[in-house]
Amino acid sequence: MKKVLVVGGTGYVGTQVCKKLLSQGWQVTVPTRSCAQATHLQGLVGLTLLEIDVHDEAAFTQAVAGHDAVVNLVAILHGDQAAFDKVHVALPQKLARACRAAKIKRVVHISALGAHAQDPQSAPSMYLRSKGQGEAVLIEAAGAGAQRAFDLTILRPSVIFGAQDKFLNVFAKLQKVLPFMPLAGAEARFQPVWVDDVASAVALSLAQEDAGTTSAAKPKIIEACGPEVFTLRQLVQLAAQLSGVRGGRGRPVMALPLWLGHVQAALMALAPGEPVMSHDNLDSMKVDNVASGALPGLQSFGITPAALRPIAQSYLNK
């Protein structure tokens, strides 16, 4: 039985990836700082929790050894430059060194739509710039052709939706308590993708035959997007409609100019917990979060991306 290390496997997307890999016969190891905070994974047959700090390079390198593949899902949406660099750049550097040392054959890395490995600094936000730098690190480490160290697949998803998402669920909950919905970036465009489709793409990436005999082999970059494009305003309105806010009418959406959006983000940063919207999130929305069409999509795996409405209705209308 093949073994895979899933870094970030305790998170929302990571949990679905683990379940998908287990269903396809993989033996899964999930590193976590605290097994007590991963009780939702305990008891899954074929899954082992490993209590380590993945930012500790010696411990991480030891954890990678003995596996056939590594999946990296670790990401943050909020933080300062140092935090983004630690998670999105330094961790891939550690991962690359560990994979080369352990002679790992296949790596799947979850990046983000809007990241650019060739020109990371062209992106408008710290999040996207650091994501692009992380891609570049892994692409360089993997190599290409006969000299490559490991097969690499990079998935660039748009915003991910699903039963426990922190996207549509958040907008639905806010509209249950707010008289109206102040919204910065209301016309920003997204191409939401179902979490199960992303998990399937990860599993299929690992299941593909090793292409080690061709000198043309190089890292694959996939744009993981759903079939529909929505503005943020439309997604907020859809969340309210499907969750039954005001009989499905939702709340009035008040589009905010960018400067006022940054004022709102500053105020939200003062509240406890993770902010709904940050300055860096607003910077990310300066570019549309939709497929470029220049790269393969989920269809290259034989996946027909799921439409948002029927799936979102199944979990919002409860």
Q: What pLDDT is attached to residue 271?
A: 65
Query: Does residue 150 belong to any structural domain of this protein?
Result: yes
Same structural domain, 100 and 231? no
Same structural domain, 182 and 122? no
Query: Does residue 297 belong to any structural domain of this protein?
Result: no
The tens digit of pLDDT for each residue in 195-240 reads: 999 999 999 999 875 444 333 456 899 999 999 999 999 999 999 9
Same structural domain, 17 and 103? yes
Query: Does residue 300 belong to any structural domain of this protein?
Result: no
Same structural domain, 269 and 244? yes
The tens digit of pLDDT for each residue in 56-89 reads: 999 999 999 999 999 999 999 999 999 999 999 9
Query: Does residue 128 belong to any structural domain of this protein?
Result: yes
Question: Region 305-317: what's the mean pLDDT?
Answer: 95
- Asked whether the predicted pLDDT for residue 28 surpasses 80, the reply is yes
Q: What angle do CA 150, 41, 34 make, to 5 degrees?
A: 85
| Spatial CA neighbour of 301 closest among 206, 227, 192, 175 | 206
Same structural domain, 280 and 216? no
The tens digit of pLDDT for each residue in 92-121 reads: 999 999 999 999 999 999 999 999 999 999
The CATH number assigned to the domain holding 82 equals 3.40.50.720
Structural domain tally of the chain?
2
pLDDT bucket at 276, cuts 50 / 70 / 90: confident
- Asked whether the predicted pLDDT for residue 272 surpasses 90, the reply is no
For residues 75 and 89, give the distance between their C-alpha atoms in angstroms, rounded to a whole number.
10
Query: Does residue 296 belong to any structural domain of this protein?
Result: no
Same structural domain, 209 and 236? no
Q: HEC states along 251-265?
A: CCEEEECHHHHHHHH
Chain-wide mean pLDDT for the chain?
Answer: 92
**Structural domain of residue 65, as residue ranges?**
3-161+193-224
Same structural domain, 143 and 154? yes
Q: Final residue of a domain: which of 206, 224, 242?
A: 224
CB-based burial, 250-259: b 16+ in 10 Å, e otherwise: bbebebbeee
Same structural domain, 154 and 240? no
- Asked whether the predicted pLDDT for residue 169 surpasses 90, the reply is yes
Torsion angle, alpha carbons of 274, 289, 154, 58, to 10: -20
Sign of CA dihedral 58, 63, 65, 68: negative
Same structural domain, 126 and 88? yes
Alpha-carbon 159 to chain mean position: 8
Same structural domain, 88 and 179? no
The CATH number assigned to the domain holding 179 equals 3.90.25
- Asked whether the predicted pLDDT for residue 31 surpasses 90, the reply is yes
Q: Final residue of a domain: which of 180, 203, 224?
A: 224
Q: What pLDDT is attached to residue 148?
A: 85
Same structural domain, 217 and 102? yes
Q: What are phi and psi of 186, to 5 degrees?
A: -60, -30
| Spatial CA neighbour of 109 closest among 150, 148, 79, 77 | 150
Same structural domain, 138 and 231? no
For residues 271 and 206, give the distance between their C-alpha atoms in angstroms, rounded to a whole number.
41
